[in-house]
Structure 1
Amino acid sequence: MSTIFIPNPPAHQLKPNQQILRKRQYAALIFLAGLVCLTFALGAWQLWRANQKQSLIEQITTQQRLPELTWSQGSPPPWRVLLLDGEWLNHAEIMLDQRMLDGKLGYHLITPFRLKDGSIVMINRGWWSPGERMLPPVAQDPPRVTIQPWPRFIELGATPIQGRVFQNLDLGRFAAWAHLPMPIAYGVAQDAPAGIYPLTVDRPLGVARHLAYALSWWLMSALGAYLWWQFYSAARRGYVSKG
């Protein structure tokens, strides 16, 4: 069996249906090349995200190793353990509903704390379930907190506020409800009185996920490049097999 390779004739010598086929082949090649570039760029973006996340984790570790700092005014630094100086605003405490702990439903107690300069910091004092006590313990001692990014939430519609019970920590709705200035920061209490369970600090996830995503995108990019070359080679030549 032998194979005879016949070059493609110039475009002006092709029949109309052959010209249409040629255009479709080139359009498919351009589209596939675009996908190869896109998947390669997405892999590079995930690698950049991994480096960015690793840098953030190192910064958080450095901040949390620093000694405790007393803070009384202005926007507090994130991730560092602070002893806030000011006063609790227990009358404006809210409870975030439907929060789970060890398979039990309860509330997150969010109590505003006013610094010496009047700035408001929202403190998550921990998880609490009514049980035998219908009211949670009142905040009294100056809080030791770790400042964190504002918690994210998705809400399809504005859920009605029931007394002090909110579904999510919506700053605008809280400020309007409590008649207070807009809070400037959110922190998680390091200590809690009996009956309240303090929460762990939410640290960013590690870089392994981003590296896995980058590898997946680059594998798809390599596969796309291989397919592109195969299609390109087939489009550049025609062949007829004879036995």
Structure 2
Amino acid sequence: MVVYRFLLTPRWLGILALTLVASAVMVLLGNWQLDRYHGRTEINERIDAGLRMAPVPLRDVLPAPTGGSGTAGPAPAEDKSWTKVTVTGRYDPANVVLVRGRSVDRKVGFEVVTPLVLADGTAVLVDRGWIPPARGGDATVQPEVPPAPTGEVTVTGRVHLSESGSVDVSRREGKLETRRIGVPRLARELPYPVHGAYLLLDEQTPAADPVFKDVPVGYTNNWQNFGYVVQWWIFAVMTLFGYGWVARREARRLAGVGRERPTDRAAEPASHTAA
């Protein structure tokens, strides 16, 4: 229509270009959040599958480390995380790792990680569970750690990838302490090669001490990402709609349609003629 020829002016072409770029960026942001939604959904599905599945031998999931003492083996593929495995070995009580600053039921305490040494001389780190700090102490006071069973122990647990981030490890009162279970960093403190992921304990023979509480598994909030997908795509549609609405208003103005009517004036008082 002739009335819309103003859209071909440089000003309106620039507005159109900005609108299209903004909408495209919002669509891309929505697609990015959609990818994150699918990725987090896959993690949650692996967690659920790990709970239901029958355990498989450790070697089917974690390759044996091939380096020397103090080294970690290769990390498993991401799709192997949360796989339930079983393995037999002997706990090493001389190298217990206390992971501080961990919360269960809103209480801050420690997760206790103990190397399980296998028949071939390699080891896998086992997170045996959570315990509170020592009575009367704050969250930094070392707890009384129940001793690990002696002799051969059969462990069933789920594969947990090494935690990322800066990992500082120190030894205090005969135990290693850290804030994160970073397998490669912890391996440097141990006198044997260590598998490239750790196990979150589900069952143990002989049975684990009842003082340990299960470490809760954190499901990812995938629906938050899905909400962002919808949000960004709605913004993209609203941006295009807004351009069309402003263009139509301008066209009506140029065509003289819908001009504002003068406001009503209060009736002026009648003038009195002089008698």
- TM-score when scaled to structure 1? 0.72
Which structure is higher in RCO with an 8 Å CA cutoff and minimum separation 6? 1
Which of residues 37, 50, 74 in structure 2 aligns to 1:50? 37
The equivalent residue for 1:208 is: 223
The aligned residue for residue 135 of structure 1 is: 144
In the alignment, the residues of structure 2 paired with residue 233 and residue 90 of structure 1 have an alpha-carbon distance, to the nearest angstrom, of: 77
Task: Give 1:147's aligned residue.
Answer: 159
Report the counterpart of residue 242 of structure 2 in structure 1.
227
- Contact residue 88 and residue 112 of structure 1 kept, 8 A: yes
Please state how far the C-alpha of 1:72 moved relative to its aligned partner.
Answer: 5.1
| 8 Å Cα contact 1:120-1:184 kept in structure 2 | no
Aligned structure 1 segments of 4 or more residues deviating by more than 6 angstroms: 234-238
CA deviations over 1:95-121 (Å, ceiling 9, x no partner): 111222334332111112234444432
Paired residues of 1:72 and 1:115 also in contact (CA < 8 A): no
RMSD: 3.6
Distance 1:73 1:119, change over 3 A: farther
Give deviations 1:63-117, integer Å, cap 9, x for gaps.
4322233435760743233221223233222111122233433211111223444
Number of residue equivalences? 225
Which piece of structure 1 moves more, 27-36 or 127-136? 127-136
Residue 199 to residue 218, structure 1, CA distance change in 2 (3 Å)? same
| Partner-residue secondary structure (3-state), 2:189 | helix
In structure 2, the residue corresponding to 1:67 is in which secondary structure? Answer: coil
- The aligned counterpart of 1:97 is 100
Structure 1 CA distance for aligned equivalents of residues 38 and 133 of structure 2: 44
Q: How does 1:2-21 map to 2 (within 5 A)?
A: 8=6
Is the 1:7–1:237 Cα contact (8 Å) retained in structure 2? no
Native 8 Å contact 2:121 2:192 kept in 1: no
Identity between Structure 1 and Structure 2 (%): 18
- Whether 1:177 aligns to 2:193 is no
List alignment gaps of at least 5 residues for structure 1.
Answer: 12-21
Cα 1:194/1:81, change in 2 over 3 Å: same
Asked if 1:84 corresponds to 2:96, the answer is: no
Shift of 1:41: 2.5
Q: Look up the match of 2:170.
A: 161
Over 3 Å counting, the alpha-carbon distance change for 1:58 and 1:127 in structure 2 is: closer
1:32 is displaced (CA, Å) by 2.3
Check the 8 A contact 1:33/1:228 in 2, yes or no: no
Tell me by how many angstroms 1:149 deviates.
3.0
How far residue 234 of structure 1 moved from its aligned partner, in angstroms, is 6.8
User: Is contact 2:124-2:194 (8 Å) kept?
Assistant: no
Which range moves more in the overlay, 97-106 or 131-140? 131-140
Secondary structure at 2:214's aligned position in 1?
coil
- Give the distance between the partners of 2:246 and 2:194, measured in 1 at CA: 60
CA separation of 1:9 and 1:54: change in aligned 2, threshold 3 A? closer
Q: Taking structure 1 as reference, are residues 229 and 180 closer, same or farther at Cα in structure 2, changes over 3 Å only?
A: farther
Distance 1:188 1:160 in 2: 20
Post-superposition shift, 1:159?
A: 4.7
Taking the aligned partners of 1:55 and 1:196, their CA distance within structure 2 comes to: 29
Change (3 A) 1:187 1:39: same
Larger radius of gyration: 2
User: How far apart, in 2, do the equivalents of 1:233 and 1:165 lie?
Assistant: 67
Deviations 1:111-144 (A, max 9, x none): 1223444443222111123436953112223222
SS at match of 1:174: helix
Give the Å deviation of 1:44.
3.1
Q: 1:29 matched to which residue of 2?
A: 16
Counterpart of 1:40 in structure 2 is: 27
